[in-house]
Amino acid sequence: MKKIITFLFALIMGISCMAVTGCGPKADFKIGIVQLVDHVALDAANKGFREELEALLKKEGKTVEFINKSASGDFGNCTTIANTFVAKKVDLMLAIATPAAQAAASVTTEIPILFTAVTNPVVAGLTESWDEPKTNVSGTSDLNPVEDQIDLIRELVPGVKKIAVFYDLDEPNSLYQLELVEDYCEKLDITVVKKGIPDINDLQQSYNSLDNDVQAIYIPTDNTLANGADQVHALNKDGKQLPIVCGETGMNDKCGVATYGIDYYKLGKQTAKMAFKILIEGADIAKMPVETAEGEPELSINQTVADEIDFTIPDSVLNKVNQA
């Protein structure tokens, strides 16, 4: 009887160990994922990466363990998470968004680091160039079609002369896109009102101080504002009711009327293919060019937001969506 009880206890403990602590068969690869913050675009990139890499490795008879962590928007948390991955001796890191990638790069020069949802890796100090990183860091850029998006504003608001750009003062991605916006708008004789905020809590004051002659708002692929997109819409719906064009579709679905955007899920899958080349084919990450999103940006409209701010989307824009 004692032998039976001992056997059953050992069996239960074994099952518990496998279920709770992952004491089952060891995976062939261990991947650490550090994501700056949870929002639609970054979540989609994360999901695309995991699903694609798991599928690619399965075809090779290999398994993978993902250690998936969110930093809740805090750079210090990104660094802590990345250091944990080093201690766990992961085979590769995925860093989602620029601050996460910068944190990961600061703690190791040995472990391969792939990034995604980073606008300009050179400006962010992650790679020496787009064509050849010459570091242990490479990945996929989410550089959005800024000029197409400004042209969209011109179509939404014919004769537009003044737009406001909201962005986080501490996000390199946003600052780079702001430069692109200013350069293009200068050619078009459109005045750009810069509305940089240090924190989402400063959004309301910044919005309320907008000049009355501002005709539209542009928001780049900014993680702080993406995370606060619902707040942006609430302010705008009850305030000046200006048409907003966002740098990415996930944010635009919450506060914008239309945009040209890339597919972050597909961007994550594209990054997974780079990981496969490193893990299975032995590719040297230091020589892997930074990739941009494959395919053409897609036009999407948000009729719900347009109705809530009493804005009429021109037929010329609606027709483009219907023809797609």
pLDDT, tens only, 165-224: 999 999 888 999 999 999 999 999 999 999 999 999 999 999 999 999 999 999 999 989
Q: Are strands 258-261 and 298-301 parallel, antiparallel or unpaired?
A: antiparallel
Give CA–CA dist 50/33, Å, rounded. Answer: 9
Global pTM value: 0.84
**pLDDT of 25:** 78
pLDDT band at 324 (very low <50, low <70, confident <90, very high): low
pLDDT at residue 22 above 90?
no
Question: Residues 274, 250: one domain?
Answer: no
Question: Residues 150, 242: one domain?
Answer: yes
Taking Cα atoms as reference points, which of 138, 92, 142 lies closest to residue 118?
Answer: 142
pLDDT band at 163 (very low <50, low <70, confident <90, very high): very high
Q: What is the pLDDT of the chain when averaged over all its residues? A: 92
pLDDT at residue 134 above 90?
yes
Question: Residues 36, 69: one domain?
Answer: yes
Looking at residue 229, which CATH number applies to its domain?
Answer: 3.40.50.2300
Mutual angle of helices 315-323 and 146-156, in 10-degree steps: 130
pLDDT band at 24 (very low <50, low <70, confident <90, very high): low
**pLDDT tens digits, residue range 61-94?**
999 999 999 999 999 999 999 999 999 999 999 9
Question: Residues 233, 280: one domain?
Answer: no
Question: Residues 102, 241: one domain?
Answer: no
Instruction: Assess if residue 90 is contained within a domain.
Output: yes
Instruction: Assess if residue 10 is contained within a domain.
Output: no
Residue span of the structural domain in which 38 resides = 26-142+263-292
**pLDDT tens digits, residue range 288-301?**
999 999 988 999 99
Question: Residues 97, 210: one domain?
Answer: no
Question: Residues 131, 219: one domain?
Answer: no
Percent of the chain residues topping a pLDDT of 90: 87
Q: Tokens 């995370």: give the residue.
A: 227
Q: For the CA atoms of 303, 308, 311, 313, what is the dihedral angle to 10 degrees?
A: 0
Tell me which DSSP letter residue 67 carries.
Answer: E
Question: Residues 81, 153: one domain?
Answer: no
